[in-house]
């Protein structure tokens, strides 16, 4: 395998993309061994994990999952069970981390109140557990203090604040993100044009 300097691979099993579509019972209508039962619907996800682990090693593999997010019509009637089944199954492969999205995360909407739903998954997963989904500085610190995760991932805030760790450390004000520029094809607008703190001082 050609190495180009990456530390590892995060498998995108979230937000209505292909792997997520297999897992969710409201979109997976297959009748073969990749559809129907929970085990069948999760089969391809675990086969992908196994294949990548065998290629580069378990310590270089993570996965992002969003059992509660109904994006691109990829919802599930029992997301608690899907999430718990996946993290327990992932323990077999000893991957580096599981990156789980909060149920409160809604595409195109702002934060809602923190939910306890990820706690059983956090407890069941043997390695590093990362949480994501609308966290701000205060929420993120609280999540770590309360042992709800080992790491907190930031998306929108990091996009709008390229020096987010510095701003968090200093308690500095944040740039407001512009949702209308998310996922556009412009390589500058909304991606590289947010100012650094030193530029706004």
Residue 107 lies in a domain: yes
How confident is the prediction for the chain on average, in pLDDT?
A: 91
Angle subtended at Cα 71 by Cα 69 and Cα 77, rounded to the nearest 5 degrees: 55
Sign for the CA dihedral angle at 51, 121, 68, 35 comes to positive
Residue 72 lies in a domain: yes
Residue 102 lies in a domain: yes
Q: What is the pLDDT of residue 118?
A: 93
191 contact partners, CB below 8 Å, separation of at least 6: 159, 181
Residue 182 lies in a domain: no
Residue 200 lies in a domain: no
pLDDT tens for 148-197 read: 999 999 999 999 999 999 999 999 999 999 988 988 888 888 888 999 99
CATH assignment of the domain containing 53: 3.20.20.70
Neighbouring C-alpha atoms within 13 Å toward the C-beta of 127: 18
Q: What is the pLDDT of residue 1?
A: 47
Single pTM value for the model? 0.89
Q: What range defines the domain where residue 27 resides?
A: 9-153
Residue 66 lies in a domain: yes
DSSP classification of residue 71: B
- pLDDT surpassing 60 at residue 101: yes
pLDDT tens for 23-42 read: 999 999 999 999 999 999 99
Residue 17 lies in a domain: yes
Q: What is the pLDDT of residue 174?
A: 96
Give the C-alpha separation, 76 to 86, whole Å.
Answer: 14
Query: Based on the structure, what is the number of domains in the chain?
Result: 1
Q: What is the pLDDT of residue 116?
A: 78
- pLDDT surpassing 70 at residue 4: no
Residue 161 lies in a domain: no
């Amino acid at each position: 395998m050609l190495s180009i300097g990456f530390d590892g691979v995060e498998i995108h099993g979230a937000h209505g993309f292909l792997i997520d579509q297999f897992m969710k019972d409201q979109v997976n209508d297959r009748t073969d061994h990749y559809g129907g039962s929970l085990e069948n619907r999760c089969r391809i996800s675990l086969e992908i994990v196994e294949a990548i682990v065998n290629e580069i090693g378990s310590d270089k593999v993570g996965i992002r999952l969003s059992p509660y997010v109904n994006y691109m019509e990829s919802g599930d009637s029992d997301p608690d069970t899907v999430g718990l089944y996946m993290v327990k199954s992932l323990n077999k492969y000893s991957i580096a981390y599981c990156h789980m999205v909060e149920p409160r995360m809604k595409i195109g909407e702002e934060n809602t109140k923190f939910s306890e739903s990820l706690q059983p998954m956090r407890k069941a997963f043997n390695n590093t557990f990362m949480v994501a989904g609308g966290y701000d500085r205060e929420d993120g610190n609280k999540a770590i203090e309360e042992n709800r995760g080992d790491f907190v991932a930031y998306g929108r805030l990091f996009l709008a604040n390229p020096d987010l760790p510095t701003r968090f450390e200093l308690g500095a004000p944040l740039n407001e993100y512009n949702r209308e520029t998310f996922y556009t094809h412009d390589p500058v607008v909304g991606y590289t044009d947010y100012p650094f703190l030193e530029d706004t001082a």
